Amino acid sequence: MKIYEYASAPNCRRVRMFLAEKGLEVEYVPVDIAKGENLSAEFRTKDVNAKVPVLELEDGQCIAESVAIQRYFEELHPEPALFGRDAKEKAVVEMWTRRADFNMMFNVGMCFQHTSGVFKDRMNVFADFGEDAGRKALKFFDVLDQHLSDHEYLAGDYFSAADIGMLCSMDFGKVVNLRPDAEKHPNLVRWREQLKARPSAKA
């Protein structure tokens, strides 16, 4: 079993942090997406989207998508439960996991892809759209700050995969200078510092 990944990609960190919380170690195989190693015909057989991370199982089955990889390990190693323990918790963790994807990762990622020019050789770039996405990410910082004013973690009083997803997505914002402001977002910064104190945050 091995995981293809690129160390600085936020969705790869999302898997590493999750595995560290579970106390699991898996072999990592670096794929240099800056050099386009993920775009080879061979790698596309592992993921139709040619993205990282990808978990390759012993039988050759490949699991792409960070959250799909997380769920694989959650099922085999249920403790500590990171996707919730009952129906309501599981639903709330899924809700916040999707907000980490749609409100944060998507906006930060679009801002990066459409304003940095890093992947301009492999995609159509729409700078105005990218800037608009960046403003949406900033606006979502306000929503998060409000929510975290009376919730210790995103899903309530317990740490979950949703916190991992949101932290890794938000931290990636620094590449386009999107950072929460200590004065404007005290609760968000408190939550971030709390998560950064976990050993898994350095995974």
Among 25, 35, 42, 124, binds a second copy (CB under 8 A): 124
CA distances from 23 to 52, 80, 198 (A): 22, 10, 13
CB nearer a second copy, residue 140 or residue 201: 140
Beta-carbon neighbour count of residue 61 at 10 Å?
10
Among 37, 126, 151, 203, binds a second copy (CB under 8 A): 126
Encoded amino acid at 129, one letter:
F
- Confirm or reject binding of residue 103 to a second copy (CB under 8 A): yes
- Confirm or reject binding of residue 22 to a second copy (CB under 8 A): no
- Confirm or reject binding of residue 121 to a second copy (CB under 8 A): no
| Long-range contacts of the stretch 186-194 (C-beta < 8 A, 24+) | 186/145, 187/144, 187/145, 187/146, 187/148, 187/149, 188/141, 188/144, 188/145, 188/148, 190/148, 191/144, 191/148, 191/152, 191/153, 191/163, 192/167, 194/152
CB nearer a second copy, residue 7 or residue 57: 57
Among 8, 40, 45, 49, binds a second copy (CB under 8 A): 49
For binding to a second copy (CB under 8 A), which residues are involved?
Answer: 48-49, 55, 57, 61, 63-65, 67-69, 71-73, 75-76, 86-88, 90-92, 94-95, 98-99, 101-103, 106, 124, 126, 128-129, 132, 143, 147
